[in-house]
Structure 1
């Protein structure tokens, strides 16, 4: 009997611990259901208060209405003017303590910008553009700059872009090298406001970056700038900044060598007249096939002769050599290739009226056997079709036949119907499509009026996915006819083609060169079935970016 009581006591103690553990875990679970919290932390008290004059404190305490966390503290938070020793930021539950490590200058307005550093704990809602302002003198700087940030090519407003300014005396030293001390982030409408600024001359920029360091250090990032300095003596508004992908100063090539033995060369900018030459082994130069992209910023190199272990390829623009790339492989290395095809039909598997069927292979075609191709029209086998090569592409052929609207077609490519330059043959494959009806297409005539005769413009037609369908350079009032376009929604975009090269050209922030301006017609054009319509298009006079 004496041994049973401790055993009973131990068993009940264990049970109590299990119950406490279960209920303890349940107590810290987040509530289930209900609306998601979308509200960022809110400041409820600041000690000393925000906008304090004659500030002489050694630290600041900020209290918020909920638990919060700091993220990317020393990337997001800046203090202007910047002290030699940055402050120390300590977050604890609902309180943020800022300890100054350096002596503050006299009669100076200081602005601590928290960027996107303050976020609530549960949903990471960001308290954007929160600032704490104080002055060590009687006066607080109160000037402001405000405006909007848009995308150059779409003319749509850009949210979450960083807008930054540098005093003109620091611009050439700090921009692109150091994080700005004065910055803000655009709201959901692309608007921005910089406040509590001291009078003086500034350079203003906007940056849409991939990494949150607030430094323009990558040509793939979007940048905007004002060409003229902003002389701030009063509040300045209606600043417009247009983001663009900068034309890189230096030409570079990125190479990719696939497991199919194809060498892809990706240029960091488009070229006017690109070409590719095999430097070593020189005898293989005549063995290559080069395919350039439509934008002339990519070259795909197919080597008929793969009997090499080292390849050196040079990229030219006109007669000017730009860069050289090297590629190594094992002399007898094997590759995996799959000869597949794309067909010239739309996303609804319909062939445009009056068109031939294009067949584009994934690799250059060496030969084909028409006898191994079977074309059926409404289940009836067709004999009187022909196959012709595309003179502009080694990967494309055209199946010519009088395709009829509304008829169902099937093209069967039996095994070995096509052979690529490496001797690979296709596997058996088929595609089904329909001859589209003419009533599914429309004709649009644009009656274009230009603001200044003799100047150059490029009128561009875009689909509802903002894909460029057609470009027409013009220099005066004219009519542009779009025939046989699928019914649907379209937009018009106009480039102010200042250098008269027939396309849009980007800018360069370091050379203080703005991109060419673009105007987007605000009306969406609806093409109805089997309909011919006219649309007046009055291009407005170009608004020059400052």
Structure 2
């Protein structure tokens, strides 16, 4: 009986396995994207009156998030549904398109081949509901203002000119995205004047998010006529969101107010004639210290200003947590230096000591600069000063050391407002050997020399040194590659100021020296000159 049914069962299993479909193995991977071979309507059709669009490809295709990736310009308030049928895609719009208008459908990477998901490249369809295609064009290049590098995939938009234009809420009428070289081209636009804005558009919602997206704009309208110029636009961060208290952190010893963005300046007014010591931490939070005696609750009126010069006022109630137990647990009292310990230091130097709490007492005679075993000078011999919050000391000093410079900071020489002190510290620096570093000289021509900042930055655009006069000389430069840039410091505040789109205010201009600079040890580079008469 068993033998009678055994052979048919085995055959059935083998036949079933043979019928299973599996992906073929071996062979070259398909890297060729699908090609559009026909469309209905054909590209550049005139007098189009339909509401259905069909695309036909040379291979099987699939649709990937087309509702997000298909960009129709000008934006059409015309919902659609879509169908995918083997090698074709069909879009059915709810209503007909507006009369006498040229439309561009840019599919991005929404349509891909079935096998390897290679997206169709540069898939775009243009048609007009009138008797001609709009021929307006605007093109140019988008770069980052701080680095001068081209920006890929930035959104460049043309907006109708209006007193109520708000790109935070209003999408562009026409737009394009930049390629890897930062180039953009907006085509088939109506020939008239527009406002041009470019943004990062990280979330690809066609709207400007001031908190974390860069922006650039042209201060004057542009015309999309055939004689339009090649526009260069630089993007910059301009966080013009209103100041607000993001959160508060009450503790027994202190009370911290955290803001939603960086603080440039803060003015504090104690409303009940009480005072509390405070500091600004990380440029984004305000910390008040619980130093008795004071009321249980302290009301404070503060005015906070950001880097754009925008101010906001707020009233806060400072209330510390109640102490539990006999001993109050204090936050550590710490100190760092600029330059940091072990960094080389020239014999004539500027120096900073940064402390984590305001200081109530300093013994500037016991804090000493040690140049060698016999040469020790107290801090009181040098020029030094406190900052507004009494937690930063700025020092200008000179040493006769041959090998190393040391700061000897005895225990008890600095006492915080909470009564704690630092442990004995010895901060060491090697004496900088000028033969291990390079030098760079140059000048700025054709500019108001009282309103400039010349910056030497490394390949990551981190500022190495800043100078404010011409001619300029950068000394003690570590060997490496650098960029040199010039800021036109219009308000002479010795910093770069960003722009404000809502007020049509451009950022301060930045110019780059055209060549990357290779600085070598014990080597000088001269005549790195800026000639602004050729770029303005």
TM-score (norm 2): 0.76
- Inter-partner Cα distance in structure 1 for 2:113 and 2:332: 51
Please give the secondary structure, in 1, of the residue aligned with 2:435: helix
1:180 to 156, 161, 172: 172
Deviation of the 1:399 alpha carbon: 13
Can you list the C-alpha shifts for 1:38-87, whole angstroms capped at 9, x where unaligned? x765434323322223434431122445644333x444434344444322
Partner of 1:521: 513
Counterparts of residues 147-162 of structure 1 (less than 5 Å) = 147-162=140-155
Partner of 2:386: 391
- Inter-partner Cα distance in structure 2 for 1:301 and 1:468: 29
Can you list the C-alpha shifts for 1:121-166, whole angstroms capped at 9, x where unaligned? 7887666764211123442223321111122233322111001112
Partner of 1:301: 287
2:161 to 168, 171, 191: 168
Counterparts of residues 88-487 of structure 1 (less than 5 Å) = 88-91=81-84, 95-115=88-108, 117-118=110-111, 130-168=123-161, 172-173=164-165, 175-246=167-238, 248=240, 250-255=242-247, 257=249, 261=254, 263=256, 265-266=258-259, 268=261, 271=264, 274-279=266-271, 282-283=273-274, 285=275, 287-291=276-280, 298=284, 300-305=286-291, 312-316=299-303, 322-326=313-317, 330-332=321-323, 337-345=331-339, 349-354=342-347, 360-364=354-358, 391-392=386-387, 393-394=390-391, 404=401, 421-422=417-418, 434-446=430-442, 448-452=443-447, 456-474=451-469, 478-487=470-479
Partner of 1:70: 64
When residues 177 and 263 of structure 1 are mapped into structure 2, their CA distance, relative to the original with a 3 A threshold, is same
Can you list the C-alpha shifts for 1:208-231, whole angstroms capped at 9, x where unaligned? 133221112424322222222223
- Cα contact 1:416–1:425 (8 A) shared by 2: yes
- Cα contact 1:256–1:264 (8 A) shared by 2: yes
- Inter-partner Cα distance in structure 2 for 1:400 and 1:454: 28
When residues 403 and 267 of structure 1 are mapped into structure 2, their CA distance, relative to the original with a 3 A threshold, is farther
- Cα contact 1:445–1:535 (8 A) shared by 2: yes
TM-align CA RMSD: 4.9
- Cα contact 1:386–1:401 (8 A) shared by 2: no
Can you list the C-alpha shifts for 1:364-394, whole angstroms capped at 9, x where unaligned? 4567999x999999xx999968677863352
- Cα contact 1:459–1:472 (8 A) shared by 2: yes
- Inter-partner Cα distance in structure 1 for 2:144 and 2:191: 29
Can you list the C-alpha shifts for 1:279-329, whole angstroms capped at 9, x where unaligned? 4x652x2x3132477xxx5454241438887555433369x8733445655
- Cα contact 2:160–2:195 (8 A) shared by 1: yes
When residues 154 and 398 of structure 1 are mapped into structure 2, their CA distance, relative to the original with a 3 A threshold, is closer
When residues 166 and 90 of structure 1 are mapped into structure 2, their CA distance, relative to the original with a 3 A threshold, is farther
- Inter-partner Cα distance in structure 1 for 2:156 and 2:175: 5
When residues 411 and 88 of structure 1 are mapped into structure 2, their CA distance, relative to the original with a 3 A threshold, is same
Residues 298-307 or 395-404, more deviating: 395-404
Deviation of the 1:99 alpha carbon: 0.6
TM-score (norm 1): 0.75
- Inter-partner Cα distance in structure 1 for 2:42 and 2:166: 32
Deviation of the 1:449 alpha carbon: 3.6
- Inter-partner Cα distance in structure 1 for 2:198 and 2:8: 68
Deviation of the 1:537 alpha carbon: 1.0
- Cα contact 1:61–1:97 (8 A) shared by 2: yes
Structure 1: gaps of 5 or more residues: none
- Cα contact 1:463–1:490 (8 A) shared by 2: yes
Aligned pair count reads: 518
Counterparts of residues 20-59 of structure 1 (less than 5 Å) = 27=22, 42-59=35-52
When residues 357 and 48 of structure 1 are mapped into structure 2, their CA distance, relative to the original with a 3 A threshold, is closer
Residues 139-148 or 50-59, more deviating: 50-59
- Inter-partner Cα distance in structure 1 for 2:488 and 2:524: 28
Deviation of the 1:425 alpha carbon: 6.8
Structure 2: gaps of 5 or more residues: 306-310
- Inter-partner Cα distance in structure 2 for 1:432 and 1:34: 62
Can you list the C-alpha shifts for 1:175-194, whole angstroms capped at 9, x where unaligned? 43232342110001110011
Partner of 1:61: 54
